[in-house]
Amino acid sequence: MRTALVFLAWMAVVCAVAAWGQADPAALKPLRTAPVEKFAVNAGFRDWGPSTLAGTTILAGSPTGAGGLFAVDTVTGKLKWSHRPSFSTGTGSISTPPAVSGGTVIVPYAAAYPGAVVAVSLATGKELWRGPDPVQDAAVATYGDLAYILSKNGAFYALDLATGRERWKVVLNASRPGCASRPIVMDGTIYLTSSASAVAGDAKKPAGNYLLALDAKTGQERWRYRAEAPYVHQGVCLGQPVVTATTIYGSGESYLYAVERETGRDRWKAVEIRRTVEGRDRPVSVFGLVDAGSVLVGITMGHLIAFEKESGRTAWELAGQYTERAPSTAVAGRVLYFQGSPANQPAPAPRGTLYALDLDTRTILWSYSRKTAEANWSFGAVTPVDGGLWVDSYQALVKLQ
HSE-CB of 373 using CA atoms within 13 angstroms: 6
The pLDDT value recorded for residue 238 is 83
Contact present, 224 and 210 (Cβ < 8 Å): yes
Contact present, 40 and 88 (Cβ < 8 Å): no
Taking CA 378 as the corner, what is the angle to CA 376 and CA 384, rounded to the nearest 5 degrees?
155
The pLDDT value recorded for residue 247 is 98
The pLDDT value recorded for residue 6 is 31
Structural domain range at position 263: 3-400
- The Cα-based distances of 211 to 29, 126, 169, 170 in angstroms read 32, 35, 18, 15
The pLDDT value recorded for residue 126 is 96
HSE-CB of 282 using CA atoms within 13 angstroms: 10
Residue type, 234: Q
Instruction: Please report, in tens digits, the pLDDT of each residue of the chain (401 residues total).
Output: 333 333 333 334 444 433 344 568 888 999 999 999 999 888 877 778 888 999 999 999 887 766 789 999 999 999 999 998 876 556 678 888 899 999 999 998 876 556 688 999 999 999 999 887 666 667 899 999 999 998 877 789 999 999 999 999 998 876 666 666 889 999 999 999 887 767 767 767 776 788 999 999 999 999 999 877 665 555 567 888 999 999 999 998 788 999 999 999 999 999 988 887 778 888 888 888 999 999 999 988 878 899 999 999 999 998 877 766 556 789 999 999 987 755 555 445 555 788 999 999 999 999 988 877 776 666 778 899 999 999 887 788 889 99
CATH number, residue 179:
2.130.10.10
89-124 as b/e: b if 16+ CB within 10 A: eebbbbbbbbbbbeebbbbbbbbeebbbbbbbebee
The pLDDT value recorded for residue 4 is 35
Contact present, 214 and 222 (Cβ < 8 Å): yes
Contact present, 294 and 309 (Cβ < 8 Å): yes
Contact present, 212 and 196 (Cβ < 8 Å): yes
Q: What is the 3-state secondary structure (H, E, C) of the chain?
A: CCHHHHHHHHHHHHCCCCCECCCCHHHCCCCCCCCCEEEEECCCCCCCCCCEEECCEEEEECCCCCCCEEEEECCCCCEEEEECCCECCECCECCCCCEEECCEEEEEEECCCCCEEEEEECCCCCEEEECCCCCCCCEEEEECCEEEEECCCCEEEEEECCCCCEEEEEECCCCCCCCECCCEEECCEEEEEEEECCCCCCCCCCCEEEEEEEECCCCCEEEEECCCCCCCCCCCCCCCCEECCCEEEEECCCEEEEEECCCCCEEEEEEECEEEECCEEEECCCEEEEEECCEEEEEECCEEEEEECCCCCEEEEECECCCCCCCCCEEECCEEEEECCECCCCCCCCCCEEEEEECCCCEEEEEEECCCCCCCCCCCCEEEECCEEEEEECCEEEEEC
Split into its structural domains, the chain has a count of 1
With CA atoms as reference, report the closest residue to 212 among 236, 188, 254, 180: 180
CA distance 210 to 212: 6
